[in-house]
Chain A
Amino acid sequence: MTATTAPVLELRDVSKAFGPVQALTDVSLRLLPGQVHCLAGENGAGKSTLIRVLTGALRRDSGTYEIEGEAVTAPTPAAMRAAGVQAVYQELSLLPHLTVAENLFMGRLPSRGGLIDRAQLRRRAREALDEVGLTTTSPDTVVERLPAATRQLVEIAKVLTAESVKVIVFDEPTTALTEEESDRLLAHILRLRERGVAMLYVTHRLEEMFHIGDQVTVLRDGGLSESGPLSGYDENKLITAMVGREVTSLYPEQQRETAGTPMLRVRGLRRTSDGPTVDFDVRPGEILGIGGLLGSGRSELLLSLFGADPIAAGEIEIEGTPVTPSGPRSMMNVGMGLLTEDRKVLGLLPELSIRENVTIASLRSGSRRGLLPPREQAEEADRLLDSLRLRAGSYDQPVSTLSGGNQQKVLLARWLLTKPKILLFDEPTKGIDVGAKGELYAVIGDLAAQGLGILVVSSYLPELLGLADRVLVLRDGRIAGELPGGASEEDVLRLASGGADHAAAEPGASARAGSAGDGQHSRQTDGPDGVSTDA
């Protein structure tokens, strides 16, 4: 491979801020023809922002952007597509009810006088499908009948039918695919490489990077961490480059009693009759973290525990009493609460007021003869909201007028009002600014200190490791391993991506001691300057 080839696409010192949040700082990227360039980084490191800058979905604040030496001044998605920058996204952009051929040429269907030219459409679709090796797929198949991998290939075929294909961005294309399907996709990417296309490949699966990557750029906290040929890296070096940061001390550091009968005891829980079983305990006062990649079954586990998703088998005990998760209502009655990941879809009642959103789960327990509970309950709700420092004009305003962090506090207040014994948090700080994050962490810590059992699912590793006393790592729905709270991010990544199963068996005991000692300086000094972005 010649090092002197001119780059097809070059970004230099690109920065991008969203309000006060600096998403990208002075990031540079060079894509060479016929090379697969991997983009690595944790969630929130700035990968998606960078991709959106590349494809024209976002405008950079500063820095230069050149395609084949020509400066790109005002990128729009259409202009960037025309210039030859194509993207294949993780969430497919195909219209499921239309045929493959129609999808391939949507927006530019061959037509004569407004009538679709079926013969030409079919012929061109055939060519496009053959090009990606889908020789047996009929252009007339309806997309929703195709398996996920084939759809992903159709998506690539669609990208290849564009006028100009110089760069293709793949954003986690294998997330929804089985191993076999992934292999087919990767084989195809290698063929595209031979044709001289430059590719930017984003994935969380390290083994894929080493399989197909030529170069790698690692982002960390919106900045460039490292960049270079992949041959100079091994798994450990790559993970260190991605993580390479001390755990911030936003997290509560308290000594808690975690002894006694398990608050929650789960044995042999399986979601489907042939699925893997899951066993674990949560002791009173303990924060149990659950880590794993997207799609590893973390949210599903919480939903099953809460009775919102059916389970096939398993025993669940709360404080030694067996319970059956027959529905959210029954689990709520035995003292469990769930703060879901997607607040809009699975949490808020947007038209209802803040106060009504808080009391909704406690109406029945406070009610007499079906009437709304007396004023005391609303007052208690107000006190909880006050203590969580909810920033709102009036608790009578619709909850939809609040920012993400404040909405999360409303949902937290909803569950606190039910006097729970166990709280399940699914990505508790997703979409929340850093100020509100710290407040939530402190509340979670306080709740554990009061003797509640807490389960936290988080994709953000510093958060997971900072909050949790113990971390279970899930992979493909089963528990891949357990780590102490002070474990390193490398340990979690290794277990989650199955990088080296044997290495994780002995999680360093020293890690835990380390965290307890170092983390003492803290909350006061590292707080986010008293500036709240979310009022």
Chain B
Amino acid sequence: MPKLLWREPIETTTITNAPVTTPEGELEHPDNRLGTPLASEHVVRVAPPSGRRVLTVGDIAGRESGGLVVLLVAVGALTLLSNDFLTQGNLSNLARQVAIFAIIAVGQLLVILTAGIDLSVGSVLGLSGAVTAQLLVGGMPIPVAILAGAALGAVLGIANGLLVTQLKLPPFIATLGMLGIARGVVLVITDAKTIQGLPGSFQTIANGTVLGIPNLLIIAAVIAAIVHFLLTRTVFGRYVYAVGSNPESARLAGVPVRTVTIAVYAISGLLAGFGGVLLTSRLGAGIPTAGTGFELNAIAACVIGGASLFGAKGSALGALTGALIMGVLNNGGNLLAINAFYLQIAIGALIIIAVAFDQANTRAASRSG
């Protein structure tokens, strides 16, 4: 049952013009003996993958399909249970809450795909946000301050990448260290005080709308679309999956493993830095403790969206879906006046269920394969 929901099945063999096909679909080629393999007369043609098999949700949406179903169910239930859910005000609010999470989650996803992890995103977000706020208060032009905040995140990300590739530190340790360092630095430079007095035009970036759609939602959608494109249409994207699958094999196939690894941490840092800028804009202040615990939410969003912490499995749409699920649950909880503590329990359980389903599915697939 979960198999239908969670994963495209491993197709059974379907050979179109092989003369003997047993009912189970096992191939018996009439001439499996030696011959001239490079000649084409005995070519076994393989059916196009879409042909002759049961269409599953997984075919349409891939690994994030499970998350998509959960999301639709949650949205449907909330629509029925609460009159306030499907209102423009609430949806805009929801979008603003989710957007920054989604941006970080998509960056985190790239790292997770290489079988790494980035624990520093929350702290980097806090540091970049506070630095941007300080620069703005100090009178720096808005675009320059935004770029500086995002660039700071990228630099810290590159530092993570260098620790992982050059010093061979486990990603968990390298980014745990960075988590502490970045948070410490932001507390030092702000003296743990909130930075206020940001220009109004800066605040409209995250709080404004275009044609009624919140800017934050547009930004998050564009970023998710870019990362999706990166992962599915570019050589770099394929390399990311290859590194996560088996770095040594990837290296021997000519994949620049170090560069790819540094790049994913840099992108994760860049997106965390940019997320910090946006959060500062949204809150209208630089808050030194902003982003605390965001790293765990980002990891949770990836996992709920079908990413594997062992690497090579997951998608940008999945991470986006995961972030939306968590946002919708939080939002629904507020609307229904459910105790927030219970919500935490529910989200925790959801993570466990998501991964348990995935494991069961992997086992089932390997048995049938």
Q: Mark A residues whose CB is within 8 Å of B.
A: 250, 306, 308, 327-329, 332-333, 338, 340, 345-352, 356, 359-361, 363-364, 367, 370-373, 382, 386-398, 401, 414, 435, 438-439, 441-443, 446, 523-524, 527-532, 535
Given known pairs A351-B245, A352-B242, A392-B13, the reply for A414 and B46 (CB within 8 Å) is no
CB pair B36 A371 closer than 8 Å:
no
**Taking CB as reference atom, which chain B residue is nearest A435?**
B32
- In the complex, the 6 A-B pairs of residues with the closest C-beta atoms, listed nearest first: A527-B33, A351-B312, A349-B245, A393-B13, A401-B369, A332-B254
Given known pairs A351-B312, A387-B40, A394-B11, the reply for A442 and B245 (CB within 8 Å) is no
- Is B88 on the interface with A (CB-CB < 8 A)? no
CB pair B242 A349 closer than 8 Å:
yes
Q: How far is the CA of A337 from the CA of B32 in the complex (A)?
A: 27
Given known pairs A345-B249, A361-B253, the reply for A394 and B312 (CB within 8 Å) is no
Taking a contact as CB atoms closer than 8 A, the residue among A367, A389, A390, A395 that contacts B235 in the complex is A367
Q: How far is the CA of A391 from the CA of B241 in the complex (A)?
A: 24
| Residues of chain B within 8 A of A398, CB atoms compared | 10, 369
Q: How far is the CA of A348 from the CA of B245 in the complex (A)?
A: 8
CB pair A372 B32 closer than 8 Å:
no
**Taking CB as reference atom, which chain B residue is nearest A332?**
B254
CB pair B40 A414 closer than 8 Å:
no
Pair count A-B, CB < 8 A: 164
Q: How far is the CA of A320 from the CA of B253 in the complex (A)?
A: 24
Binds A, one of B21-29, B99-107, B138-146, B183-191: B21-29
Give, as a whole number of angstroms, the nearest-CB distance from B16 to chain A: 12
Q: How far is the CA of A70 from the CA of B34 in the complex (A)?
A: 48
Taking a contact as CB atoms closer than 8 A, the residue among A346, A370, A387 that contacts B236 in the complex is A370
Taking a contact as CB atoms closer than 8 A, the residue among A346, A360, A401, A530 that contacts B33 in the complex is A530
- Is B212 on the interface with A (CB-CB < 8 A)? no
Q: How far is the CA of A466 from the CA of B292 in the complex (A)?
A: 66
Q: How far is the CA of A527 from the CA of B33 in the complex (A)?
A: 5
Give, as a whole number of angstroms, the nearest-CB distance from A323 to chain B: 15
Q: How far is the CA of A514 from the CA of B369 in the complex (A)?
A: 46
| Residues of chain B within 8 A of A350, CB atoms compared | 245-246
| Residues of chain A within 8 A of B200, CB atoms compared | none
Q: How far is the CA of A124 from the CA of B246 in the complex (A)?
A: 44
CB pair B250 A391 closer than 8 Å:
no
Taking a contact as CB atoms closer than 8 A, the residue among B49, B235, B249 that contacts A349 in the complex is B249
Per-residue CB contact flags for chain B residues 300-320 toward chain A (1 = under 8 Å, else 0) read 000000000001110000000
With most chain A CB atoms within 10 A of its CB, the pick from B34, B36, B42 is B34
| Residues of chain A within 8 A of B36, CB atoms compared | 442, 446
Interface of B is mostly: loop
- Is B30 on the interface with A (CB-CB < 8 A)? yes
18 extra interface residue pairs, beta carbon distance < 8 Å, beyond A328-B252, A332-B253, A523-B35: A329-B254, A360-B242, A360-B255, A372-B237, A387-B37, A387-B38, A389-B32, A389-B43, A393-B10, A394-B11, A396-B49, A439-B37, A442-B37, A523-B34, A530-B29, A530-B30, A531-B32, A532-B29
Per-residue CB contact flags for chain B residues 206-232 toward chain A (1 = under 8 Å, else 0) read 000000000000000000000000000
Give, as a whole number of angstroms, the nearest-CB distance from B316 to chain A: 16
**Taking CB as reference atom, which chain A residue is nearest B8?**
A396
Q: How far is the CA of A359 from the CA of B35 in the complex (A)?
A: 26
Given known pairs A332-B254, A360-B253, A396-B49, the reply for A442 and B30 (CB within 8 Å) is no
Give, as a whole number of angstroms, the nearest-CB distance from A238 to chain B: 33
Give the number of chain B interface residues (Cβ < 8 Å).
54
CB pair A340 B235 closer than 8 Å:
no
CB pair A392 B46 closer than 8 Å:
yes
Q: How far is the CA of A363 from the CA of B233 in the complex (A)?
A: 11
**Taking CB as reference atom, which chain A residue is nearest B312?**
A351
| Residues of chain B within 8 A of A401, CB atoms compared | 10, 366, 369
CB pair A306 B252 closer than 8 Å:
yes
Offer 21 A-B interface pairs, CB within 8 angstroms, sorted by A. A328-B253, A348-B246, A349-B245, A349-B312, A360-B250, A360-B253, A363-B235, A364-B235, A371-B234, A372-B237, A390-B44, A393-B12, A393-B14, A401-B369, A442-B36, A446-B37, A523-B34, A530-B31, A530-B32, A531-B32, A535-B28
- Is B238 on the interface with A (CB-CB < 8 A)? yes
| Residues of chain B within 8 A of A356, CB atoms compared | 238, 241-242
Give, as a whole number of angstroms, the nearest-CB distance from A473 to chain B: 26
CB pair A394 B37 closer than 8 Å:
no
| Residues of chain A within 8 A of B255, CB atoms compared | 329, 360
Give, as a whole number of angstroms, the nearest-CB distance from A60 to chain B: 28
Given known pairs A345-B248, A370-B236, A372-B233, the reply for A394 and B47 (CB within 8 Å) is yes
